[in-house]
Amino acid sequence: MEHRITICTSCTHTGTQCRPGYELIERLRTAIADAGDAVTDAFEISGVACMAGCDRPCTVAYHGTRKATYLFGDIDPETDIGDLLAFARQYAELDDGWCSSVDRPGKLRSTTLARVPAAIVAIEQTEARAS
């Protein structure tokens, strides 16, 4: 797999014990499998205990080899699957993973918590300065 979607499994809705991450993982896996296009083969979906987005459950990260990483918060497994699938398609096509917030689908325009540049860029620039 060259792309990964990681979903927080410890996020809870305020005042409840509900952990929407597990439901989100299953719904997104199903949506990607049902998509029947390049996204099906390009992404692995997994859960992780915490991504420090506790105030904005549920958090979802997109990462890829030599690509910027995105962290989204306030994701609802019942209403946001379409936006997550659309972003997976978009992200798979981006050479460096970089896109503007206005180019992200639906709710993901306003729920981005972080965009982290690919680590390889920092390494390449450091090596260039050293020579």
| Residue 102 · residue 109 · CB < 8 Å | yes
Question: What global pTM score does this model have?
Answer: 0.85
What does the block give as tokens for 87? 């972003």
What does the block give as tokens for 64? 């890829």
Query: H helices then E strands: how many in the chain?
Result: 4, 5
- pLDDT tens digits, 36-45: 776 777 889 9
* The pLDDT of residue 19: 80
- pLDDT tens digits, 10-64: 887 666 677 888 999 999 999 988 887 767 778 899 999 999 888 888 999 999 9
Does residue 121 register a pLDDT over 90?
no
Residue in 106, 102, 17, 111 with CA at minimum distance from that of residue 59:
111
Domains detected in the chain: 3-130 (3.40.30.10)
Does residue 125 register a pLDDT over 90?
no
**For the stretch 35-66, what's the b/e string if a residue is b when 16 or more beta carbons lie within 10 angstroms of its beta carbon?**
eeeebeebbebeeeeebebeebbbbbbbbbee
